[in-house]
Structure 1
Amino acid sequence: MQISEGTTECVCEFINECPFFERHEGLENTVRTVKEVFCYGEKQDCALYQIAREIGIQHLPDELLPFDHLSVESILSQRT
């Protein structure tokens, strides 16, 4: 699924403040792919989105990657 950056229907509300992009700013291809797949696509499948939505973007661990779904359950269970 390819969605242009001008499309707003699926755009993740955390895209402009997600720390993943700041940490990976030198990896243009990686950033572009993550944005296309998760930010402009299936945001609910992004581990970063799941954590940000449930407990706040300020609680995103530095090592968490968008596809790191195994860590989501662990992180959320530690916060409850």
Structure 2
Amino acid sequence: MRPASVFASTAAKFKSKIQVKVDGETVDAKSILMLWCISNHLTRGKSFTIIAEGIDAAEAVDSLLEMVAFRFGEE
């Protein structure tokens, strides 16, 4: 699976509203299409923010950050 697909499917497992913000643009982290739309901003080494609101927000952010840290399991 490609990183956007892995990210979106992982985010979709949580009940919280989850968004990704990069270069002033904020998108729904559960939408592969929206993540794809900002993918040109998400180059290696670029900073971005994961925003989560809801009952399992902390768990969602931790899970997504861990996945990013391990490069989506690609290496």
Structure having the higher Rg: 1
TM-score relative to the length of structure 1: 0.26
TM-score relative to the length of structure 2: 0.27
In proportion to residue count, which structure has more helix? 1
